[in-house]
Amino acid sequence: MAAYSVLVVDDEPDIRQVVSDILQDEGYHVSVAANAAEARIRYVEDAPNLVLLDIWMPDTDGIALLREWREDQTGDHPPVIMISGHGTVETAVEAIRIGAYDFLEKPLSTAKLLITVERGLETVALQKENLTLKTRLSPAAGFIGHSEMLEDLRHLINRIAITDQTVMIRGEAGCGKGVAARSLHQASGSAAGPFIEVNLGALPSESIALELFGTERDGVVTPGQLEQASGGSLVLDEVGDLDMDTQTQLLGALEAGRFFRLGGTTPLEPAFRILATSNQDLEQKLSNKLFREDLFYRLSAVTVQVPPLRTHREDIPDLINHYVQLITDSQHLPFRRFSTSSVNYLRNRPWPGNVRELINFIHRILLTTTSEVIEAEETREVMGQSATPLDAVEEKNAWRDFGQPLRSAREHFERDYMEFHLLQTRGNISELSKRAELERTHLYRKLKGLGLNPKDEKYRQ
């Protein structure tokens, strides 16, 4: 418990002191802030695991501060517990809608305070556990399979890894571009260094430069991913989503071998290798003047093409065995196996989502079935539910209830529509924007209004 840190934000000194003493007695590390201005500084510098936030403060109220933090797409969000001596049901509902974990009324009950903090921190532990599981489900050792196509890919990666060339990794969504990037890193001379991945498609365009270069404001330094990747590898996932201004900044940094944090004056010269990935038609972007030609050729010093799963189906049995073992071990499930007929059925599926779709299906069937040997009939039944996610959306029947008001029906449909495509695109806002034919700024507002967060871990699995 001592590893957890809590930020207490309240304008009443007595409350801050009492709550701080209670939490410290329980082994928590506690920092305090008397107003929103101090809270912003402590939030960035201390990176707390949980925040206790008073609603009524003299400069900025807690609801506005919570909204400000939740709208920031550049980092993880710790659980926030709102506290108030003048709370109303409407205020509590608004706080939860924006993203608060819970709501406590003053005077605070010590028992309720501690159990709410403990449960809030349990969400942090679960997030870390899910991240660990996700990492384990992406084989660090490389691609799974014995096909000639994968053997050629492994040999290419090993030849490239010993150089310091920038690499462009291309391929369809879900085919294993991230596995290729990690394999390149682990086979390189920088394997002991950091491996930093930046999902550009999940970031608002206005936040990408902040994420990459970091900031210096009023003496507060926030390192960017370029700085954090020093001595290792920086993966620019879906590099085609870079806006033109950030492309220019990145090109300048690569050509000069140095860059400045946004708002900073001290040049930084970290040494790292860039691994760019893309499933887009970058040549078309070049023709449409949406991607700088000079940056494209600098990032494409070497190109690795990762094949779609349909071109090496002979690897599907190996993939099934590998992920069945990983998932059952990591989630403490009983031993299971797919029958020969079931494996053959899966081998002949189209898998438009490639290896990622196969992993998600294996995960789903292991969690929703109980037989020790999973036969083809059971596999086809579950596949019928997962191969066409839109069917599952329709089964909820939310937006087809003609007895509800039109506005409510439209909202249900929009939420189901957006969730379907968030799952399909793994939370990639750029791809979702193209599918929905909505400008990204409008799309972010729409998702926020529907209570959907594209950075939610469930869309990345």
Predicted local confidence at residue 73, as pLDDT: 53
Residue 83, both tokens:
């506290």
Do domains 5-135 and 148-307 share one topology? The answer is: yes
Structure tokens of 311?
A: 């071109």
| Kind and range of the H or E run holding 42 | helix 36-46
Q: pLDDT at position 38, please?
A: 93
- Please list the pLDDT of the chain residue by residue as tens digits (461 residues): 446 899 999 999 999 999 999 999 888 999 999 999 999 999 988 889 999 999 888 778 888 899 888 877 555 688 999 998 776 677 777 788 788 888 888 888 898 899 999 988 887 777 666 555 554 444 435 799 999 999 999 999 999 998 889 999 999 989 999 999 999 999 998 888 999 999 887 777 778 888 899 998 877 888 899 999 999 999 999 999 898 999 999 999 999 999 999 988 889 998 899 999 999 999 999 999 999 999 999 999 899 999 999 999 999 999 999 999 988 888 888 888 999 999 999 998 889 889 999 998 999 899 888 888 999 888 988 887 544 333 333 344 444 445 556 666 677 788 888 888 888 888 888 888 888 888 877 788 888 878 788 887 777 65
pLDDT of residue 133: 53
What does the pLDDT read at residue 130?
A: 58
**236, containing H or E segment:** strand 233-237
What pLDDT, on the 0 to 100 scale, is given for residue 168?
Answer: 97
Tell which residue, 425, 362, 343, 368, has the closest CA to residue 137.
Answer: 362
Domain segments of the chain: what residues? 5-135, 148-307, 310-387, 391-459
In CATH, the number for domain 148-307 is 3.40.50.300
If we measure between CA atoms, which residue out of 111, 107, 83 comes closest to residue 95?
83
Question: What is the model's pLDDT at position 278?
Answer: 93
Q: HEC string of 294-350? A: HHHHHHCCEEEECCCHHHHHHHHHHHHHHHHHHHHHHCCCCCCEECHHHHHHHHCCC
- Nearest CA to 126 out of 42, 49, 46 is that of 49
Element (H, E) at 214: strand 214-217
What number of other Cβ atoms are within 10 A of residue 35's Cβ?
Answer: 16
3-state secondary structure of 291: coil
Tell me if 215 sits within 8 A of 262, measured CB to CB: yes
Class for the domain spanning 310-387: mainly alpha
What is the CATH code for 5-135?
3.40.50.2300
Q: Please give the pLDDT value at position 389.
A: 37
Cis check: omega of the bond before 107, within 30 degrees of 0: yes
Distance CA 201, CA 228 (A): 20
